[in-house]
Structure 1
Amino acid sequence: MLASAEKVIWKMAEDRLKLQAGLLCRYFLEDGQIFVEVVSSLNVPAAPLNGSQNKDVCNVVRECLKVPKAHEHNIDNWALAHILKRLNGALHKASIVMFCHVAVEDEDFCFLGFPKDNKRQNSLSAANGVCMTLAELAYSRRRILALDDRLTTMSLYIREVGHDLAGSIHAIVAKMAYISKGPLNESGMKIKATEAWREVQNAHAIAECLGIAVDPDYALGNSESVTIEQILKEVTREQEADLKKNNIAIKVGETLGLKVNVVKLHFKLAIANIVKNAVKYSYSDTIIEIITSREDDRIVISVSNVGIGLPVGEERLRIWDFGYRCDRAKKLNVNGSGIGLFTCKKVILQHGGLVWVDEDPRGTIFHASLPVSRVVYPPASSRIRR
């Protein structure tokens, strides 16, 4: 549909402006340099202009942008004349370019039209209209493609995490059914209700994790002050069942009495994803250690475990990628969607922090840091001395 509309607009421009060729470019500035992408064209193949010859197109657009209004330029000896000659022999005599630029939402576009017989057309207002219409079509196409990509990605990873959500939902249903059948004393009902509630929280965390992972515009909401100790207590408490099943213990070190300004739900989710991985991939009868430390201008939370270890080489760098699971993890047949560490990195980076991983003979250590600007220090008299 958009492609057909684009052809109609170019045909009208060709007739109205008497063009032999035309280009619509999207451009942006970065570090003082201009970058140009040819997004639509008339009688000129656009693809090569986005390749080795893009630098010349950038130079032409830069020169044209020096004049604030729509205008015509003589392009004798300009790089673009040589580009056109190489791309289409019929254009090698082009010496005039009609130029105008417009903004659509947050993107900038420019139009370059080459009149037939190099005659000035005095139709710059029409050229500006063509530029605006083509730019709006190009902008719409980009947004539709981005939406398609997002929907495809979301569909893929909804399937990937489906078994996790299904597991939590089945557990909730089973526990509630157990309660309803009775007979249970008050203590037994409380235990089952607590277990069901934890499964509800787990399902919510999985859904929240998926939402963060597939949202290309993810940004932090309102922050609140919370102690690191509180975050770690909640995270470890949620792992009690798996810890008991695999006979694994968690040892939480001193948290320095620190409070941090974070989006609690998301920051807790990031730390929980690291701890969950440590629990899933630890050997039985081992201890997971969580240590909070101060390193230069950052507060670092480190989670170490003894387990299957990390992949080597470039594959290790991919553990933070969207949807990636290493071969070792797959062979263990452990449930996982490949979005936990990706989400963790996304959240921590949004908080201004960093994530990284080390490995030594003692095991694997995942680190998540926050800048000290997010730390709320207690009064000196109340700090715990080490």
Structure 2
Amino acid sequence: MGRTHVQTVEDRARVEAIADYGIVGAPVEPSLVSLAQLAATLCQVPTAVVNIIDDRAQHQVAAVGFDAGVCGREDSMCAVVLQDARHVLVPDAQRDRRFTDNPFVTGELGRVRFYASSPLITPAGISIGTLCVFDEATGSLTAEQSAALDLLAHQAVEVLELRRLTQELERSNGELAHFAGQVSHDLRNPLTALVGHLDLAAEAAASGALPRIARAVDQAEAAATRMEGMITDLLAYARAGGAQPRRDRSSLREIVATALDDLSAAIAAAEASVTATIAEETDTVVGDPMLLSLLVQNLVANAVKFALATGIRPLVEITAVRTEQGWSLTVDDNGPGVPADQRDRVFGAMERGDERDVPGLGLGLATCRRIVQIHGGRIAIDDSPLGGARLRVTLRD
């Protein structure tokens, strides 16, 4: 039987950070190869590698002196020192009890003697891998060489950050073009309906048909309400992408209460059950209280809307738990859920994970992602124990 894989909180954060860079499985990044070559030259060894280590495997994304590959995390030398996230120098791996039985040392996969590595640490403080150099002969590094290896590891992260920002810019440009066309189309529908119903009301008024007037006005009002909701979504999306957020210390309970108060009419109309649990006595969160309230509001509104579209009474549970880094906020629902292969796509503007006829422009989760990102946090979708989706937000202090 194979071993059961248990993903820790640290692993989950690392996997999400690695996914942002889009480097695993991608064509080799020439700048990373150049940094590995420079590391080997400065450290006077024949081999160097940039390793990305997720919860299961070590991915050699750039290598010098051998062909890059993938190995299980349990076989990786760099995985042994990953959590320490500091420079490591091992003159003779055969004499270091951390590595004496490692297959890269014993001869099963390699015969490493000298080993040195510097961690790849993201701006958010997450260790995602190493820049390491090694040799089949024993060796050492001077203080200057060790400092150089640290510097090159930092430059490797800068390369990854530039890659991430370039990908984000390309995605944003594509979203913008799609966004403009879709907004124009979606707003035109209720506008056309509004004008049409007002025309019918005018015709009915001319003939004195009061019931027809009332019906046409009601339908016109409904179309106007739909437009108002769409415009509200647009403004929220734009606001979430604006200037840097405030960094106030606020009560998370008050933020959630404000969001639910703003949604009270919609929750009542849907006959939804929405509960919030914040177990910690100290509920201080650092961030922009207006945007964080908007975040909660969008998550709950989205959950209610899609559960209602399935014809069931919406059930939503909000839970906030304090972590070492900040807060973990989850919003669970009993709706249709989001298939695993769509969980990244639905955070894009104008995207929906469900094809049911639901109101809005598909900006709710895109707005949430914007708010979370400008707060330096992360947002992801899991399966919910309630049967629907779990939106999981991590916020750092």
Normalised TM-score (structure 2): 0.49
Larger radius of gyration: 1
TM-score, normalisation: structure 1: 0.50
